[in-house]
Structure 1
Amino acid sequence: MPDAATAPETVILADGEYPAEGIPATLLAQARYVVCCDGAADAYTARGGIPSAIVGDGDSIGRTTAQRFRDILHIVPDQETNDLTKAFSFCMEQGRRELTILGATGGREDHAIGNIALLADYARQADVQMVTPYGVFNAVEGAATFDSMPRQQVSIFTIVPGTRISVRGLRYTPPAEGFRSWWCGTLNEAETNTFAIETDGPALLFRTFLRKA
């Protein structure tokens, strides 16, 4: 789980729901390096933030912000990728491989789903997590171990139907043939302070901040 006492190396701030409170707000406040997707720069600077870089296609950033930060504004006109991917690629070019993504959910649901799904691609290149007001998304392919707490809710989403999954430390065992649909792996539950998962294909994992009452 994200450690609010440890400043993230690099934060990418997307233009969804602004991380104004809780763990996301703490992570943003403590970040050593903040890359704003272009629309997020307006909200970040309006609250007193100074971005390290602003990246995007430039269609959603305010004129005043763009002028003020023109020296760190990186316009990428490519319409085949969204602003989050443009910001991610910028971080890869800068050699930044430990990334926390904030503000990627909320707002339009299609944007949120697209951003979450992109984690599976990003995770092949970097150590990346996506933190929301309610928990944290990670991508997993192969074997991995995660911190948890008893009765913490854990949901697993497979990108490809039939992806085989084995787990240790979760209450429910996935079927041997894999999940037949997205929803089938939701609302599992951690039993200890760690759990292990192994997959033969890409999957997304969500852990809630709060344990089940």
Structure 2
Amino acid sequence: MRAVVVAHGDVLPADRAVIGVDDYVVAADGGAFALERWKLLPHLIVGDMDSLGDAGVERFARQGIPVAKFPAQKDESDLELAVAQAVAAGATEVVVLGALGGDRLDHETANLLLLADPSYDGVRIEARRGALRIRALRGEGSLSLGPLEAIVTLLPVNGDAEGVTTEGLRYPLRDETLRFGRARGLSNEVDSLPATVTVRKGSLLVFETP
């Protein structure tokens, strides 16, 4: 099952097209406002409801939408809770909208790091904003890249990424180590297909902008 989780960050009109009729849709607190603008209803709303407020909760509850309300003083972000709820419902693929933007860079950074959470091994999680797509490569594995001329950035998280090899990129990597905190993997480009990135050990955040 694929789930779409909508957070309370910036969303673009084009993001509406990401949500398919068969997707399980979860709103992370104020992410419900974006769905409301798109005239869509979530299957579930999750969070402490500090953004949605009592009036918003009541408005969605009247439409039969279940709300999982958590205390404001908690250890997880609303997005983290929403992704966990989606996975608990059976999602093996999660697309996050609204993970970026806003005036809280700390929230945005935490949202991106969530993609690389090793506890979600076996679950494909990605964030999208317009044409931008961000995925995580956790541990040994590979991802297909594209389309042609897409800008690709590979950033190691949770330490160094070892044995990084790319195919189809303008600046190839051959069994290299990308050091955590370094910009070695910044701003590459797809110049032939098929294009791939493979990692032997460690984790990468993979940014693709057509």
Q: 1:137 aligns with which of 130, 134, 143?
A: 134
Q: Secondary structure at the match of 1:113?
A: helix
RMSD: 2.2
Q: What SS does the aligned partner of 1:26 have?
A: helix
| 1:144-159 equivalent positions in 2, closer than 5 A | 144-159=142-157
* CA positional deviation for 1:45: 1.8
Whole-Å Cα distance in 2 between the matches of residues 155 and 73 of structure 1?
A: 37
Please list every run of at least 4 consecutive aligned residues from structure 1 whose deviation after the TM superposition is greater than 6 angstroms.
none
Cα 1:162–1:9, aligned 2, differ >3 Å: closer, same or farther? closer
Question: CA distance change for structure 1 residues 167 and 90 in 2, over 3 Å: closer, same or farther?
Answer: same
SS at match of 1:51: coil
Structure 1: 5+ residue runs without aligned partners?
1-7
In the TM superposition, what are the counterparts of 1:107-146 in structure 2 within 5 Å?
Answer: 107=102, 108-121=104-117, 123-141=120-138, 142-146=140-144
Paired position in structure 1 for 2:11: 18
Distance in 2 (CA, whole Å) between partners of 1:150 and 1:64 is 47
Query: Match of 1:68, SS?
Result: helix
- Confirm or deny that 1:179 pairs with 2:174: no
Mark the CA change 1:43 to 1:197 in structure 2 (over 3 Å): closer, same or farther: closer
Are the structure 2 counterparts of residues 95 and 174 from structure 1 closer, same or farther at C-alpha, using a change threshold of 3 Å?
Answer: same
- Distance in structure 2 (CA, Å) of the matches to 1:180 and 1:202: 10
SS at match of 1:25: helix
Aligned to 1:56: 47
The equivalent of 1:73 in structure 2 is 67
What SS does structure 1 have at the residue aligned with 2:184?
helix
Structure richer in strand, relative to its length: 2
Give CA-to-partner distance per residue, 1:33-66, whole Å, 9 cap, x none.
2100011113322442211110012222132220
Q: How far 1:102 sits from its partner (Å)?
A: 0.6
What is the Cα deviation at residue 25 of structure 1?
Answer: 2.3
Q: What is the TM-score of this pair, normalised by structure 2?
A: 0.85
- Structure 2 portions without partners, runs of 5+: none
Question: Which deviations, in whole Å up to 9, do the C-alpha atoms of 1:100-150 show, x marking residues without a partner?
Answer: 111110112221111011100164241221111241001003221314122
> 2:155, 2:145 → 1: CA distance?
18
Comparing 128-137 with 158-167, greater Cα deviation is found at 158-167
Please state if 1:102 is matched with 2:97: yes
CA contact (8 A) 1:19 1:28 kept: no
Determine helix, strand or coil for the equivalent of 1:92.
helix
Q: What's the counterpart of residue 169 of structure 1?
A: 168
Q: 1:64 to 1:43 in 2, by over 3 A?
A: farther
Give the SS at the match of 2:195.
Answer: strand
Give the Cα–Cα distance (whole angstroms) in 2 for the partners of residues 49 and 25 of structure 1: 9
